[in-house]
Structure 1
């Protein structure tokens, strides 16, 4: 597959990416850098690899250790963007966790047996964490008065009920609705808020071959019959980050999902 030609679609922009040390977040950082953006990598994990990849594209990047469930950490990441690059234009809220440990007894993940702490941990990270990231970014974007684009990473699991994955499904449905509410609140103030709902995508969270038992179940609801890539998800995020390409789009969720919602 030939790589898409870069056109400087984000030239002069600054993007804050939570969960940017790996997976979809890292792919967004690299693609956005190719398109001219400087990057802030906010992650609990070491972001040095992402920084190197961004710098290889000729852009600048900084990393900050960030627990997105803490308001002060999100504010520190936004402050770093402004202190380092002068402004903040794009946010990708990609930090998140799965609710299912495939080494566990599957019955333990059914709602009737679910440990409440497991449920609240996923909600705290996947919903409250996204809200706090968005909140800190919105305050800065409103202060700047130059608008911006916020992209929250949800999932097709926010629309497809998966037995044994209640925390994840509920959390991603929450991200979808959070994005819609914020879009309405900010529609007249220059900030667009959208979501990307990936289907099964090969990341550290979903390192599953298509022909494995779990993979076969996943492919049964994926007409294209394969896992997606982080780079494919990043392309959807780039579209939403591009203020020209998606200027009239807010409150929407794109689904790079191999055809899961063709029916």
Structure 2
């Protein structure tokens, strides 16, 4: 019987410095803590919730690593992206960028003004583009490879009524992920997206809710997800073990996307048409 040769040892070692945007709560906070648990110093950003960012920083420091905190307003572009440079300078470099900061709407296209449309795209797509560009420049200069991980959504892959700019931004970020994966591969920088479904976070109005207590009959696993379940996938993608994974989208949704035609065929009224 033929034997399988072991994988070559990764000479670059594990990443040591990460920046997670939007890490004052929810998925971003859980990701920052997960990366800290793996030995990464972490740059934490917030928009308005400075206290939330400091809580995340405390949890990071409790794991024996460094935390640096900055405000990041992705409605102020391109200026705000310089925060990535500031964090890279304080941490001594950047090996991992997680683009998690985001916003959304619950409004129909015909009721939406252009400013609302542009604000969501600015934060969710333009911001991720600029932060990725800044982080990649540091990774290329250091010559040690790196990881860029974009938090998209199941709406990278499927639409939702009342979420036009959010869906457009997340689908665009999914495509940007693939282009970056191709362009940055020569520098040993991998780029992937993680696409959560409904996760119990402040963004979904479920802060401090145990998802195991919430019933979701339309989701095969029957419940929302926990932010830590998304963070675990992000943390994996940041490790040397994921060194041959790039340009992929990892869906973390309890099977929600599998239900498309199945769930559609079971609807008994038009309530789905409302945001």
User: C-alpha distance in 2, partners of 1:165/1:35?
Assistant: 35
If the length of structure 2 is used for normalisation, what is the TM-score? 0.82
Q: Aligned-residue CA RMSD in angstroms?
A: 2.0
Contact 2:43 2:91 in 1 (8 A): no
Q: What is the match of residue 78 of structure 1?
A: 85
1:258 paired with 2:271, answer no
Verify the 8 A CA contact 2:15 2:238 in the aligned structure 1. no
How far the C-alpha of 1:112 sits from its partner, in A, is 2.0
Residue-by-residue CA offset, 1:113-158 (whole Å, 9 max, x unaligned): 2222111111110000110110110111111111100000100012
| Matches for 1:83-232 after TM superposition, within 5 Å | 83-100=89-106, 109-208=107-206, 219=216, 221-232=218-229
Runs (5+) with no aligned partner, structure 1: 1-9, 101-108
TM-score, normalising length: structure 1: 0.85
Other structure's SS at 2:192 match: strand
1:43 aligned to 2:46? yes
Deviations 1:47-71 (A, max 9, x none): 2111111111111101011123423
The count of residues paired between Structure 1 and Structure 2 equals 239
The Cα shift of 1:11 comes to 5.3
